[in-house]
Structure 1
Amino acid sequence: MSDLSIRQLSKSFGGVRAVNDVSFEIKRGEFLALIGPNGAGKSTCFNMINGQLPPDAGEIWFEGNKLNGRKPRDIWRLGIGRTFQVAATFNSMTVVENVQMALLSHANQIYRLWQPARAQHRERALELLAQVGMQDAADRPSRELAYGDVKRVELAIALANDPRLLLMDEPTAGMAPKERNDLIALVKRLVIERGISVLFTEHSMDVVFAFADRIIVLARGKLIADGDARSIRDNPQVQEVYFGTGKTFRAEARA
């Protein structure tokens, strides 16, 4: 069964075709990497799926619901979570309050101002923080966190709506090698435990080849390859797009 179906998706900016007739599917519980060099169209594709950009052509379907024309908050309520390349939290709040705000939004309680927000959903927020290894920092101000810990809190926030599909745009950007591998290993564990499907973009090929169930490759807006790590690593067209002739992914994959 497919969670997400992308059908002939296209988007142009002026004379530039950022995404050009792209089609792919994500199966239930699949950990799918979307890779490509800078300017390949990855973020544009993400932003169309998430409702931040309208496609010029094509269709986006999630569990039988057509996403074209829906706003990001409506897509979120359908069960699609999202993390961003640059992680951010409300620095004026504690770690647990950041997660509580996401839970309040999911429950449509943001505007119930007569009820103190910090008293609501705290237990559930602590459970989510425990799942990402941040429960001990629950009452710390978010502004004090290291960047890798902010990424973990962002993941807890993304899980607040019990997503069945998680979109992760460069989840390990700005992180050291051990941090990024630890974070993706955590996500992979949650995927298995919760049965979540994940679509993620990533520039670190060691992360992609170590953890992705399947990899799709964009270049100049077009999908040029779709397969497992070995077939993508050995694909001559993919190697040409990334490195030019004569080089391979093998050294990068061992980094």
Structure 2
Amino acid sequence: MSIVLETQGLSKSFGAIKAVSDVSFALHKGELLAMIGPNGAGKSTCFNMLMGQLKPTAGTVWLNGQDLAGLGPRQIWRMGVGRTFQITGTYASMTVAENVQMALISHHRRVFSILPYAHRLYRDRALDLLNLVGMADQADRHCAVLAYGDLKRLELAIALAHEPSLLLMDEPTAGMAPRERIALMQLTADIVRDRGVSVLFTEHDMDVVFAHAHRVMVLNRGQLIADGTVDQIRNDPRVQEVYLGGGTLFHAAEEGQHA
């Protein structure tokens, strides 16, 4: 299986504070990889280095074999990396379809020729993406009136607009109701399976992680302390100690029976 994303010795310091220290991992094509850890573990710092918002103090990042050193977020996006954020960033004054159309216009490099007919550009493709995430019936609603779960699904459609090989999802289910969380991550798992997209996501909800991740990495104080299957992580004594205070990780399916 081909490697889509790989890091070696990835590190980031802010003065004397080591936010991330010597993190190395590989993400394969069509893999759904969870990155978990307590608050302050370095997850967001890792994401920001992968996407070019932060420059690593040390280490390397490769995307499909290409070195990302020195590249900014837009250049990395152009290379096939999509991202969703913990706090959604859609245009509230635009319709659902228009938000996706804007992403498609950028993807096709039409940003300097969009007026006055931007509302007609790539609408059919936008509707296809909205149908993929279950939002086609809300295409002409303004984002300002959408429920938060719907905004999360819209953000996923926007991230898919430039057909990424890698999708970074930072707390994708934050602020969502339990049923919405399950639906969104099942949708993401289906996209991984059907399109071969690789996904790296951070998440605090262990139900979500254990139900959908193919593999789990655990960070603590900026260091990678475990990397393995769901069962390996669930039963890892060190993970239980640093992440759950010595408690036992439960099985998502068992919890789901009581939802």
Shorter-chain-normalised TM-score: which range? over 0.9
- Report the Cα offset of residue 116 of structure 1: 1.2
Contact 1:12–1:18 at 8 Å: present in 2 too? yes
**Gapped regions of structure 1 (runs ≥ 5):** none
- Report the Cα offset of residue 243 of structure 1: 2.3
1:82 aligns with 2:83: yes
Contact 1:206–1:254 at 8 Å: present in 2 too? no
Distance 1:253 1:86, change over 3 A: farther
1:58 is paired with a residue whose SS is strand
| TM-score, normalization by structure 2 | 0.96
Distance 1:114 1:149, change over 3 A: closer
Taking the aligned partners of 1:140 and 1:99, their CA distance within structure 2 comes to 13
Taking the aligned partners of 1:57 and 1:124, their CA distance within structure 2 comes to 41
Residue 168 of structure 2 aligns with an amino acid whose one-letter code is L
- Report the Cα offset of residue 88 of structure 1: 2.2
**Residue in 1 aligned with 2:183?**
182
**Residue in 2 aligned with 1:248?**
248
- Report the Cα offset of residue 249 of structure 1: 1.0
Contact 1:7–1:24 at 8 Å: present in 2 too? yes
- Report the Cα offset of residue 254 of structure 1: 3.8
Contact 1:205–1:253 at 8 Å: present in 2 too? no
Residue 210 of structure 2 aligns with an amino acid whose one-letter code is F
1:250 is paired with a residue whose SS is coil
**Residue in 2 aligned with 1:28?**
29
Distance 1:252 1:193, change over 3 A: closer
Taking the aligned partners of 1:17 and 1:253, their CA distance within structure 2 comes to 37
Residue 64 of structure 1 aligns with an amino acid whose one-letter code is G
1:190-205 maps to which residues of 2 (within 5 A)?
190-205=191-206
Taking the aligned partners of 1:253 and 1:242, their CA distance within structure 2 comes to 20
Residue 161 of structure 1 aligns with an amino acid whose one-letter code is H
1:29 is paired with a residue whose SS is coil
Residue 187 of structure 1 aligns with an amino acid whose one-letter code is T
Taking the aligned partners of 1:32 and 1:251, their CA distance within structure 2 comes to 18
**Residue in 2 aligned with 1:40?**
41
1:127-155 deviations in Å (ceiling 9; x for gaps): 00000000000000110100000000000
Residue 117 of structure 1 aligns with an amino acid whose one-letter code is A
1:145-204 deviations in Å (ceiling 9; x for gaps): 000000000000000010011000000000111110100000100111110000000000
| TM-score, normalization by structure 1 | 0.97
Residue 47 of structure 1 aligns with an amino acid whose one-letter code is N
- Report the Cα offset of residue 115 of structure 1: 4.9
Taking the aligned partners of 2:252 and 2:214, their CA distance within structure 1 comes to 18
Residue 249 of structure 1 aligns with an amino acid whose one-letter code is L
Residue 138 of structure 2 aligns with an amino acid whose one-letter code is A
Taking the aligned partners of 1:107 and 1:173, their CA distance within structure 2 comes to 31
1:110 is paired with a residue whose SS is coil
Taking the aligned partners of 2:101 and 2:167, their CA distance within structure 1 comes to 19
**Residue in 2 aligned with 1:111?**
112
Instruction: Determine what percentage of the aligned residue pairs are the same residue.
Output: 59
**Residue in 2 aligned with 1:70?**
71
- How many correspondences in the alignment? 254
Taking the aligned partners of 1:54 and 1:142, their CA distance within structure 2 comes to 33
- Report the Cα offset of residue 68 of structure 1: 1.5
Contact 2:210–2:252 at 8 Å: present in 1 too? no
2:151 is paired with a residue whose SS is helix
1:223 aligns with 2:216: no
Contact 2:37–2:43 at 8 Å: present in 1 too? yes
CA RMSD in angstroms, aligned pairs only: 1.1
2:164 is paired with a residue whose SS is coil
- Report the Cα offset of residue 244 of structure 1: 2.2
Taking the aligned partners of 2:190 and 2:201, their CA distance within structure 1 comes to 15
